[in-house]
Amino acid sequence: MVDLNTMTPVVASSWGGVDYYDFVMVDGDDQEVDGVVCGMVDGPDDTVFLLYLNGTTDRAGFAVQFNPVTGAQVTTNVVSFPGNGQDTPCRGYYHEHDSNGYLWVTNVAGTPSDVTEGFWYSNVTDLASGDVEAGYLDSVDSDLYMAGVERIAAHEDVLYLGSQSMLSPCDGYACAFKASFDSTTGEPTLLETSPGEYDVLKATLIDADYTMSFGDVSCVETPPTLGMTIAPFHDGRNLLFIGTCLEISIFDIATGNKLDYNGPGPGTPGFPGVYFGQGLTEFSLSPDGNTLWVVPAVKSLVHFCFLKGNGNYQSYNRHMFLPIDLSQDDPNMSGLPGIKAEFNVANVDETEGSDCTIGTYPTPEVDPGLDLDFAYLKKYIVEWAPDLAGSTPTSVPVGPSIAAANDTIWMRGSGISGVSGLANQGHLASFELDAQKVVLWPSGDDPYYMVWVGGTDTRWGFDMTPENDNAINSEAIMYVSMP
């Protein structure tokens, strides 16, 4: 855990004058639980459910409830997920309705990967009183579970299951299947509009092109799963967001209608994400509920274009956080969320138009969003040292996900053991919202100013292991408000 008041890792324990930062979960015998954390779920009252892999012949994993405020487990009781060592119950969703709390978990690894068959459901209201055995659904119960549930969301008495199932009328598109759920067990039942026709919110194909004013933009990095979340809009509507490669389809939950961004393309275009990146699948709602932040999986096909000190142009990756403003309508489109105004005015590369086109698409006059690939560093370096264009610091986060805090955004990458998935950013990358720039953290004997003179190997991310030089990977990230 990181204390954002002091910007330091929270000490979990000390022994022999050495501080340790790992919070260890224990079982009823006060022994460390046997498993590996692969995900986290936002739970009730500022608690979180830690999702563990524990592949045995009869159990795929389990969940432990943890309180970050106190730094302690809520209970040693666990939610068990039946299955085997091939299952990965690593992505879940907690929801409260009619005084009950439900935990739903799907078979998707923490690192972005193809979803696999299987879905777990449980009522965890009385977890403090004893262990809970989750129910399990697979292809025997519905073809939806054979295709796999990629994302989960809920509003009041309706559960939304994100999938690209071939069931009608989804037909392989990115869809949110609507389901009721049993008040006692949490078991879902898919809703139908007519026999064999399921009640869905249907977005686009996950790899669909998007038509901009300058032409069609193709998806070249198909995301492994769709993205989905629910957030309230300022006018009282609750909106469901489905993220695909290049756009975000936004639905009014009350009517089921998709919001029309009235672009040049056919049909009902969603929120355009072309200038931010590809794979608009990871969301994080700001603590005040006014901004929905989106981090694309990979860079945009529209590059930055910098004028170097020698008079030539240099292209550079454009990879941007997308801040969707929920506090007001888009100034140019009544009733629709737009880009947060303060992140829609900068001209990062100070160039625009077809005269500076490098590749297929022109760079825009305004560069919307928050740069996560440190373009301003690149711009600074190629201005005074154009020959260093090929040795400037860069970041290619692997499977990034984010947590939005009050004044900062924190980003993790999906890495293998000993690798963070954030390259030389270190364990976590952090971004200051007021400055709209990455925070450069010093690392050991490497002065952070090396990145300003073309150093490619200097680590400037936040260090989660100040007691040693180890690199660590992370499986999930979440913000919890402290009292």
pLDDT of residue 244: 97
- The pLDDT of residue 377 is above 60: yes
Q: Grade residue 359 by pLDDT with cuts at 50, 70 and 90.
A: low
pLDDT digits (tens, 9 = 90+) for 148-162: 899 999 999 999 999
Please name every residue paired with 371 in a beta bridge, in sequence order, or none if there are none. 320
Q: Which two tokens stand for residue 364?
A: 């825009």
Helix (H), strand (E) at residue 379: helix 375-384
List the one residue out of 83, 98, 6, 48 whose CA is nearest residue 480.
48
Contacts of 459 (CB under 8 A, 6+ apart): 424, 425, 426, 443, 444, 446
Task: Verify cis geometry, omega within 30 degrees of 0, for the bond prior to 169.
Answer: yes
Q: Which two tokens stand for residue 297?
A: 């999986």
pLDDT digits (tens, 9 = 90+) for 241-294: 999 999 999 999 999 999 999 866 556 789 999 999 999 999 999 999 999 999
Burial of 213 (0-12, 13-18, 19+ CB in 10 A): exposed
- Report, as an integer, the average pLDDT of 376-381: 80
pLDDT of residue 357: 63
Please name every residue paired with 96 in a beta bridge, in sequence order, or none if there are none. 101
Residue with token string 């201005």: 383
Buried b (16+ CB within 10 A) or exposed e, 5-16: eeeebeeeeeee
Query: Beta strand pairing status for 132-133 and 79-82?
Result: parallel
* CB 93 within 8 Å of CB 104: yes
pLDDT of residue 399: 77
- The pLDDT of residue 392 is above 80: no
- The pLDDT of residue 374 is above 70: yes
Read off the DSSP letter of residue 24. P
Of 128-137, 219-228, 357-366, 431-440, minimum mean pLDDT range? 357-366
What distance separates the 2 farthest-apart alpha carbons in the chain?
71
pLDDT of residue 469: 66
pLDDT digits (tens, 9 = 90+) for 49-97: 999 998 666 789 999 999 999 999 999 999 999 998 789 999 999 999 9
Q: Grade residue 127 by pLDDT with cuts at 50, 70 and 90.
A: very high
3-state secondary structure 35-67: CEEEEEEECCCCCEEEEEECCCCCEEEEEEEEE
Cα–Cα distances in angstroms (integers) from residue 469 to residues 20, 411, 414, 459, in the given order: 14, 20, 19, 11
Percent of the chain with pLDDT over 90: 56
Residues 377, 229: Cα–Cα separation, whole Å:
33
List the 408-412 sheet strands across, edge first: 401-404, 408-412, 429-432, 437-438
Q: For the chain, what is the mean pLDDT?
A: 87
